[in-house]
Chain A
Amino acid sequence: MHASTFTTTSGFLLPSVHSLPPFFTLQAACPPALAKFTDDWIKTILAYARHRQLFFLKVEDAETTGNEWDEVLKNERINRKLPPPFLEHIISTMVTRNLAVYEPAKQTRTVLLHWRLPQEWADTLHQWATDTGHLNTILTFYEITDPPVDSPLTGIPVPLLRHAIQELAKTNLAQIISIADGEGVRFFAPSGR
């Protein structure tokens, strides 16, 4: 058997381990193998999320077909799919490593993926505000998550956006403001530099 990489229809390069049938079994009795496959799954999931700009991953995604995760959680060429208990294990490992957070909290079936860390999102956000001339004006969250021109922040979930703004607020680069229909934000230029 040759384990080979594969390029999906969306142009994502799956690692060669993904072509291996045992990759889709939770190797419960062999901890080193379980650890290796879990690591490989985490890498693949985060890379795919970044590739497709996907923010959420649900255990359900492994239970159903026809969702945006099909290309990764299933391999039709060898007729294998990731069992939901294995996905749960992967998700909980990601949460312990801060590569994802349960969103909403107090459940363990849906995570918000950190394929960029909140700090990195903060940098991206401030860069975007600077580049598009939005410094010192008040923006609604909606204007950021759904801008007229697509941006790296298009579709960013509000919890993540808020987290990123809080990161910026620590260094006085942004401020959350209450506005008539919810929340808004004002970005500032870096001071004294």
Chain B
Amino acid sequence: MHRRRVGLAAFDSRDQARRFNELSSALSKTQVDHLQGQLAQFRTALAHFAAEHRDDIRRDPTFRHAFQQMCASIGVDPLAGPRRAGWWAEMLGLGDWQYELGVQIVDVCVSTRDRNGGIIEISELVRMVTKLRGVQAGAVDEDDVMRSIKTLQPLGAGYQVIDIGGRKMVRSVFKELNDDQTSILVVAHDTGGRVVEEDLMKRKGWTRERAHLALENMYASDGLCWIDDQDEESGRSYWISAAIQWNE
């Protein structure tokens, strides 16, 4: 059984605890001050960096990527948007830049939808966005476009980068491609857009029925291709719109 300590010793121990507390808060205050100091320094450095390289970041894709890689390695997302990144995005203006690019991507996807069925090759998208932006806005490349498409995701518009036989395509409609359609897209890229049943039978080992059904579905239900009834070789050929390049 312990007896409670009474008398002077008890005062000593309470006093000691209080002093430990004081010391501890003093220490953490120094640490916080130190941290704040570092942060302030970092901010100044960043502001300096932003002021100096802002234009380069916007104009030069290579520089932009080096910058983005640097950000990723220190765990900062410069595109996190005004709400999450606050002064960071504000200072670089990169968030706005990215959203602006997003709007241009939507513009191109929507305006070309009636000729590609809502599936566009990323290089074609880059080409058209670049044209839309004009010379002064600086170059953009596939990485930029993919990043912007990511920023579009919260809108739920269904913009997605899909891989079709090693080719990146951007899909701007809610339409799942089934395996057969994906195969047809791959073939279409090799043939330059024109696909006939024989192509699929030869390259994919499909039966004529399967090839016919897949192509007809792609045409009539999904609007992903057009038919040509004056084809000299096979009477009817299918033109996969996403595989056609438009020079205007």
| A interface with B by C-beta (< 8 Å) | 1-5, 15-17, 20-25, 27, 29-30, 32-33, 36-37, 79-81, 83
Taking a contact as CB atoms under 8 Å apart, the answer to whether B247 and A20 are in contact is no
Taking a contact as CB atoms under 8 Å apart, the answer to whether B245 and A3 are in contact is yes
Report how far A30 CA is from B219 CA in the complex, Å.
7
Which residue of A4, A21, A29, A37 contacts B230 across the interface (Cβ within 8 Å)? A21
Taking a contact as CB atoms under 8 Å apart, the answer to whether A22 and B239 are in contact is yes
Q: List 16 A-B contacts (CB under 8 A).
A: A1-B193, A1-B194, A2-B247, A3-B245, A3-B247, A5-B247, A16-B248, A20-B244, A21-B231, A22-B227, A22-B239, A24-B228, A25-B230, A30-B219, A30-B220, A36-B114
Which B208-239 residues have C-beta < 8 A from chain A? 216, 219-220, 223, 226-232, 237, 239
Taking a contact as CB atoms under 8 Å apart, the answer to whether B226 and A25 are in contact is yes
* Per-position binary interface string of chain B over residues 68-107, scored 1 when its CB falls under 8 Å from any chain A CB and 0 otherwise: 0000000000000000000000000000000000000000
CB distance from B163 to the nearest CB of A (A): 22
| Closest chain B residue, CB of each to CB of A37 | B226
Closest 6 CB pairs of A and B: A22-B226, A21-B228, A29-B220, A1-B193, A1-B192, A22-B228
Residue B53 at the chain A interface, CB threshold 8 Å: no
| B interface with A by C-beta (< 8 Å) | 114-115, 192-194, 216, 219-220, 223, 226-232, 237, 239, 243-248
Residues of A within 8 Å of B231, CB to CB, are 21
| Closest chain A residue, CB of each to CB of B229 | A25
Taking a contact as CB atoms under 8 Å apart, the answer to whether A32 and B232 are in contact is no
Taking a contact as CB atoms under 8 Å apart, the answer to whether B226 and A24 are in contact is no
Taking a contact as CB atoms under 8 Å apart, the answer to whether A32 and B223 are in contact is yes
Taking a contact as CB atoms under 8 Å apart, the answer to whether B248 and A21 are in contact is no
Residues of A within 8 Å of B192, CB to CB, are 1
Residues of A within 8 Å of B220, CB to CB, are 29-30
| Closest chain B residue, CB of each to CB of A35 | B114
**Quick one: given A1-B193, A20-B239, A21-B239, are A33 and B226 in contact (CB under 8 Å)?**
yes
Report how far A30 CA is from B221 CA in the complex, Å.
7
CB distance from B116 to the nearest CB of A (A): 11
**Quick one: given A25-B227, A29-B220, are A3 and B232 in contact (CB under 8 Å)?**
no
Residues of B within 8 Å of A1, CB to CB, are 192-194, 239, 243-245
Taking a contact as CB atoms under 8 Å apart, the answer to whether B193 and A25 are in contact is no
Report how far A23 CA is from B226 CA in the complex, Å.
8
CB distance from A2 to the nearest CB of B (A): 5
Report how far A17 CA is from B246 CA in the complex, Å.
8
CB distance from A39 to the nearest CB of B (A): 9
Residues of B within 8 Å of A30, CB to CB, are 219-220, 223, 226
Taking a contact as CB atoms under 8 Å apart, the answer to whether A24 and B230 are in contact is yes
Residues of B within 8 Å of A24, CB to CB, are 228, 230
Report how far A66 CA is from B30 CA in the complex, Å.
93
Residues of B within 8 Å of A15, CB to CB, are 248
Q: Which of A20, A24, A29, A32: most chain B Cβ within 10 A?
A: A20
Which residue of A16, A23, A29 contacts B247 across the interface (Cβ within 8 Å)? A16
Which residue of B230, B237, B246 contacts A3 across the interface (Cβ within 8 Å)? B246
Taking a contact as CB atoms under 8 Å apart, the answer to whether A33 and B229 are in contact is no
Residues of B within 8 Å of A81, CB to CB, are 230
| Closest chain B residue, CB of each to CB of A24 | B230
Report how far A33 CA is from B244 CA in the complex, Å.
15
| Closest chain A residue, CB of each to CB of B222 | A30
CB distance from A175 to the nearest CB of B (A): 47
CB distance from B189 to the nearest CB of A (A): 11
Report how far A189 CA is from B243 CA in the complex, Å.
58
